[in-house]
Structure 1
Amino acid sequence: MRKNKSFLFSIILCFLLTIKTSVILVSTQDQQCLGQTSFNTYSTFNKNRLLLLSYLPSNVTAQNNFFYNASLGQDRDRIYALAMCIPSTKTNDCSNCVKTTSDGLIKNCPNNTEAFHWLGSQNTLCFVRYSTRSFIGSPDMDPRQILPNATDVRSSITDFEGIWQDLMLRMVDSASSKYYEAEITPLTSTSSVDTMMIYTVMQCTSDISNADCNTCLRNSVGDYQNCCRGKQGGLVTRPNCIFRWEFYPFYGAFRNTPSPAKKEDSSTVKIVAPTLVVAFLLLLAVVGYVFYLRRRKKKNKDVLRETYQELDIDALSSLKFEFRVVQAATSDFSEKNKLGEGGFGPVYKGKLQNGQEIAVKRLALRSGQGEEEFKNEVLLLSKLQHRNLVKLLGFCLKGEERLLIYEFVPNSSLDHFIFEEVAKQDHTLKASWSTRFNIIENIARGILYLHEDSRLKIIHRDLKPSNILLDYQMNPKISDFGMARLFESDDQTQGITTSRVMGTYGYMAPEYIAQGRFSVKTDVYSYGVMVLEIICGQKNNTFQPSGVAFHAWTNWRGERALDIVDSVITENISRNEMMKCINIGLLCVQESVKRRPNMNSVIKWLKSNSVTLPVPSTPAYVVHSDSGEASHVSQVNVSITELEPR
């Protein structure tokens, strides 16, 4: 196996060496480490710093504009952070860049209370900054950094200065209004028919005003002219803006930027063509080796592959609905039939010609739930049958329309039942503890079925009250399997996502947010948050500063656990049963993954009145963004080596 790895490494190295790239990778010495002081590695401030920086890669890519800022901690231990990427960046490239930059700041600014770094590569440009002071919205012109190229511009380029200055003035005006601009401008050489291109990128952090962005970029262009006039490219950085120009593309910023036609020199073609042939052959060798490795693992994955072949969506003809049938059932998706709307799109109530009531999820064209999530839900729910899982009746595909048709569940979702004031003021069956205990127990049964009892071993990954539907008898049904993942074998119980971390903050386990690691314990964590919410009658983000888990934990340690019980529960309740549920909820949200129970243990504890439960330890830590959201992100005792990417 060691020889195989060495062989693969040699092939990849040779492949990379055949490709000529022009990239500025800003070195570690170019990181701006400010506010040097001495703080203990295990101090609260440093823990907050590590936690907040580990939180950035997954959160910046969750934003449409790839810009994210947040803060963590109180008083002297509070830290502010910001992360961003250029708009044209691919999600994985942005996340990896922010991760690399954050790790670099931790390594190279170990005792600094403030630091920032612009990191550029062939694929992207990203920026990370942290400080003990709130810098959001406050423009900083210093410290600045100017990095010119060593080569001079060729004298044969006609009217270079005039074209360059006109371009920069135009770029500053455009970038300051949009916070980002990338442009290609041609230059003509008098000595040949070759047309050269000026590639330019300007970007500001979008928290400052347009006027401040304009000032920052103008100063940077002026700094470059004063320092490096006549040089063939360069870079100027400040805490709030970056300016770079070259005679070649960089940062992956020009993929979608139109460029004038450019004639290739024949000598260049003669050199490049053999290089591409060699690179192609090496690539084929790498692909062949990868297939070889996959064939060795084929035996362990046959069951999973056969399952997907069996569940191919094209073969599920019995579940296909005609669009006109669904359209008629919902009165052409009328507003009066609209049950609600989430990030995926609206849900409508309908009635088929045979009188059966249905619920129709109509996926929005630009929702976060795309083709893969749609197919995932159809494939999984078509084979899952359990009283505590919502039943999929069918699906519909027509053009860009993607419809999922479910059984109609009349009492809406759990979040309406436990959070909305109208429901809480209705002192009927809805507010009773017996109903809530039944919901707690049956959600656990549904999750246990997914983890252990179904033919497919599944992690849901998005358990939350809005995905728990309630039928006529207030029995819970787990819904929304768009993000669910199959185990590859019966003995596999964990994995790591290779794409963007998706879910709902507040219900996502810290190891999933910070490292992309998911397992059955990921769902257990989400379940624990829901249990505590059902008992408290409050959302996870309503208690400051640390969420519902810490609210329950604080009262538990102070022997006031029953003080968290929702005040609308008026009937006599079993003190032991209530304490047991609080205990179970706290066991499920422990920061230690190993100490969280599995769902089989949870079911046994809920059914027994005599078993002694373990004592819960500290819940997972919480980060608050500046928008006011509260989210569990990572364990308190984080070390630098644990800060792995998604």
Structure 2
Amino acid sequence: MIIVVLLILGFTPIAAQPWQICGDPAVSYMSNSTYHANLEHLSTMLTDKATASPYHYANGSVGTAPDIVYGLTLCRGDVNSTTCHACIANASLGAQQLCPYRADVTVFYPTCRLRFSSKNFLHPDNYSLIVDGVVDTMNTTDTTNKEPTLPNWDPGNSESVADITKIISGLLQETAWHAAYDSGAWMFATGRMDVGGGFPSLFSMAQCVPNLSHNDCWSCLHVITYMATDNFAGRQGGRLLALWCNLRYDTVHFYSGDPMVTIMSPVKEIVRSATLLGVPSRKHKRSVIKVVVPVLASIIGLVISIIFIRRRRKKGNGSPDKANVHVKEDDETIVWGLKGRSSDFMLYDFPVVLEATINFSEENKLGQGGFGPVYKGRFPDGLEIAVKRLASHSGQGFTQFKNEVQLIAKLQHTNLVRLLGCCSQEEEKILIYEYLPNKSLDLFIFDETRRPLLCWSRRLAIIEGIAQGLLYLHKHSRLRVIHRDLKASNILLDHDMNPKISDFGLAKIFSINDTEVNTDRIVGTYGYMAPEYASEGLFSIKSDVFSFGVLTLEIVSGKRSSSFHRYGDFINLLGHAWQLWKDEKWLQIVDTALVIECHTSEIMRCVNIALLCVQENAADRPTMSDVIAMITSESMTLPEPRHPAYFYIRVPEEETSMVTDLFSTNDMTMSALGGR
């Protein structure tokens, strides 16, 4: 069995059951202290509340700062009150024994989980970023001493791997869906799949913390389901344990009672159109389709998806209610050049935005962008929004603001962030976007605790999604657009971790006949800028291609292409990656958190594509059409890349700090004069 644990905690090796994660040893308490007394009180309170709860769940806090203790506990949905009480009592005692005097501890027992902490991890803002945490993986065999892998699992046979992966993934997603949407407030489901043909029956379980929303539960389960592909590798059993949700499957009937979900055999493909959507509808009829021809299944899935999306749009799901949200008069849309645009786009009154963000409160602040802060907001009809409030000193004046509004209002693509509207009142310039709960890509790939949560399949999907968004901008939109500031912090992630390109304040519209444009004002981000643009002010679609190549290397490696860090003798990631490629040691650049055995050829192709995109000569770089073809066609032979830009820059040991100071603005959007 493989066990994967995801927590908002530091890394600690996990041994046999129970599984514990001990927090930072620097954050501890003394025996017989006030914190210790509050912890004992909290343990008793949680045990009693969870036993009395119909869902066997409890959370709460005891004490006041600085000795306040927060806690959460949940028993498995198939156990009775007596078993639950005993498990939580053991977990409370076990947590203190396994992690002595640690102020932040989480333990997983077979039938319950418990966490206590001096930090308020119970705040609702933590619910949406479900996948916060680290991954710890261990290979074990279960107590029945079965063979470690399922029948016909052959790592060297791609068809065998694909078929079994579909079986496991299908079972887990079906069970997860039932837990999130069909089990009410219980948020617990069990499943069974009888595959047949000598293949053992598979049993599954999914559970969320009951006070999550249905969408957040689905988001949590859906994200960790993707990890099964990389971590389970055809094993006969596996668990994914997270604080807010968990999944498990096995070839033994490990839960009590009959399964709530049964998938009939044989199963080759599970088609669920709503899986493609961030917020699935509970009215959507779940279907398990026995597939004879895989191509037919794909077509059916696509058709269902399109119909479902159109129906959602017709219902106006997620759009502001004009009766509840006051907007600017229609004649002003003519002044803005937006007359006749999508009815979803609105010009909002400032008081409406002020109310939605609770007067731009610090509690609602999501982050600080290059041109000003971004806040989370909520309209009276419940629609969640992201509000970009442009600072008066940001350098982005009304012209740039209007440029971004007019530009994004005309762009519609699944991999571009959706602009809902804007607000302009005197000095206030505000953009209102759809709210994306998983925030930006840089928060995952550059964070030691979250990066392992992005398995290779998810990273590849993100790379391809970004490429599709750029291809739309460069070729398929009504306007030919150069983004000019593509970077990890400008890639937002939706519920299902699908990427959306954002921040079009620096974007430029190209004429169809233009291939290259010269500018006197060079804007963008150091580390992502193409050399011809940084030095001469020349930009084209190949400028975005260069940025895409840098971003792809960052996604594969989990490291910044920045002068904050040295990679070997080189100042940046590009030179280091190129040298490893030449020396046929490219695997050394791959993030160590990735399980690469089943994906070596895919990862190698992405490194090759990235190096082609960052070549010094713009003419040598592929177009985004070429990139998509190279990503999606395994049979296509890729050319050998020439040396990348900035390859010649080496940093002697004694000069490292000087160079770091020189380029200390790497992850900030900059404006500079000096182009020809």
Report TM bin, short chain. Answer: 0.3 to 0.5
**TM-score (normalizing by structure 1):** 0.48
- Tell me which of the two structures has the higher relative contact order, counting C-alpha pairs closer than 8 angstroms and 6 or more residues apart: 1
Higher helix content, 1 or 2: 1
